[in-house]
Amino acid sequence: MLTGETLRLFVSSLFLQAGYNTVVVVLGVTALGLAAGLVGAFALLRKRAMMTDVLSHATLPGLAAAWLVATGLGASGRSLPVLLTGAAIAAIVAALTVQWLTRAARLPEDAAMGATLSVFFGLGAVLLSYIQTLRTGSEGGLARFILGQTATMSEQDAYVIATAAVVAIIVAVLLEKEFRIVCFDPQFGAAQGWPVALIDLLLMTIVVGVAVVGLQAVGMILIIALMIIPAATARLWTDRLRVMLALSSLFGAASAWIGASLSAALPKAPAGGLIVLVAGAFFIVSLAVAPSRIRASSAEAR
């Protein structure tokens, strides 16, 4: 609960006064929030909100398999790049599974997504329970990816997160026009000769990239929140795509900054939960006071 000491820790982290490692972690997570807000806005507009949830849950078996492989080869299961590579591969396999279930097996898309999410996560849980019985002493590292934990993040981890976030931001800014047409009217885009499937793939690639590097900070269960809630909040304030992208990045960054600072003060509470609650507070306040959606709906009534 809030004591004077937690409050002091929170404020000093918020204003980057809490020691070098905490500062780097808070800034790294903030870069992640910025990237998630930006990429998430496109995911929301492409109606892929729940797909981000599927992909992030699906990283669990990849993380566990990467740990097993790395440990089996005598390397450390704690290496972040190795674990995140496994996570990304699992997310890509999940995306292909959803596509195969809908296209080839003709299942409804929501059923394909829910089945993929739960089965991949279930498989990951089995692998995780197996790893836990090995008692190697280094297995504790994996659980942090489920709900997020900034306390265990090193400076190095923060740099990995920030670098990936910057790459995702650059890609999203460069391809804004392409993402815009595919999100608004993919048929028209295809008729003009744009490779819609390729552009979709690029979009999902940066979504996976941001989700994977965000696992440690936010956790796989709540990554969807950092992608979708800032975007939904931004949409309440504006009818302009560029403004929405900027606001969504801003809400994402602010949620991550404040949430990570809270997490530094409350190391036991999962960082993901704190960050999402801050993002949720922005959304709820915006829902109550933002003007744009109400005007839009009354104008549409004509």
Partner 1 sequence: MLQALSAADAGATPCSVRGMTIDYGNGPVLRSVDFDAAAGSLVAVVGPNGAGKSTLIKAVLGLQPTVAGQTRFWGQSLRQARGRIAYVPQRGAVDWDFPVSVREVVAMGRYRMLGWLRPVSAAHQRAAVEHLDRVGMADFADRQISRLSGGQQQRVFIARALAQEADLYFMDEPFAGVDAATEQAIVDVLRALRAEGKTAVVVHHDLATVRTYFDSLLLLNGEVVASGPVDSTFTTENLQRAYGGRLAFIGGALAPAPGA
Partner 2 sequence: MQAHLLQVDLPAAAAALFAALACALLGNFLVLRRQSLMSDAISHSLLPGVVLAFMVSGARTSGAMFLGAAIAAVVTVALVQFVRRRARLESGAAMGVVFSIMFAAGVVLIEQGPARNVDLDADCVLYGQLEHIMWLAAANPGALLDPAVWREAPRQVVTLAGVLAASAVAVALFWKELKISSFDPQLASALGFSPRAIDMGLMFFVGLVAVAAFEAVGSILVIAMFICPAAAARSTTERLGAQVAVSLAYAAVAALGGYTLAAFGPGWAGMDASLTASGAIATVSGLILAVAALARVRAAPGALAKT
Residues in contact with partner 2 by CB under 8 A are: 1, 44, 47, 49-50, 52-53, 100-108, 110-115, 117-126, 128-130, 133-134, 143, 146-147, 221-222, 224-225, 228-229, 232, 235-236, 266, 268-270, 272-277, 279-280, 283, 287, 293, 296-297
Quick check: 285 binds partner 1 (CB under 8 A)?
Answer: no
Pair of tokens at residue 3: 């004591």
Quick check: 176 binds partner 1 (CB under 8 A)?
Answer: yes
Quick check: 180 binds partner 1 (CB under 8 A)?
Answer: yes
**Residue 187 Cβ vs partner 2, minimum distance, rounded to whole Å:** 10
174 binds, among partner 1, partner 2, none (CB under 5 to 8 A by kind): partner 1
Site string for partner 1, 219-258 (x = CB under 8 A): ----------------x--xxxx-xx--------------
Q: How many residues bind partner 1 (CB under 8 A)?
A: 31
Quick check: 183 binds partner 1 (CB under 8 A)?
Answer: yes
Q: What is the 3-state secondary structure (H, E, C) of the chain?
A: CCCHHHHHHHHHHHCCCCCHHHHHHHHHHHHHHHHHHHHHHHHHHCCCHHHHHHHHHCHHHHHHHHHHHHHHCCCCCCCHHHHHHHHHHHHHHHHHHHHHHHHCCCCCHHHHHHHHHHHHHHHHHHHHHHHHHHCCCCCHHHHHHHHCCHHHCCHHHHHHHHHHHHHHHHHHHHCHHHHHHHHHCHHHHHHCCCCHHHHHHHHHHHHHHHHHHHHHHHCCCCHHHHHHHHHHHHHHHCCCHHHHHHHHHHHHHHHHHHHHHHHHHCCCCCHHHHHHHHHHHHHHHHHHHCCHHHHHHHHHCC
**Residue 104 Cβ vs partner 1, minimum distance, rounded to whole Å:** 12
**Residue 103 Cβ vs partner 2, minimum distance, rounded to whole Å:** 4
Q: Which is nearer to partner 2, 107 or 167 (CB)?
A: 107
189 binds, among partner 1, partner 2, none (CB under 5 to 8 A by kind): partner 1
Binding site residues, partner 1, CB under 8 A: 45, 47, 174-178, 180-181, 183-185, 187-194, 235, 238-241, 243-244, 296, 299-300, 302
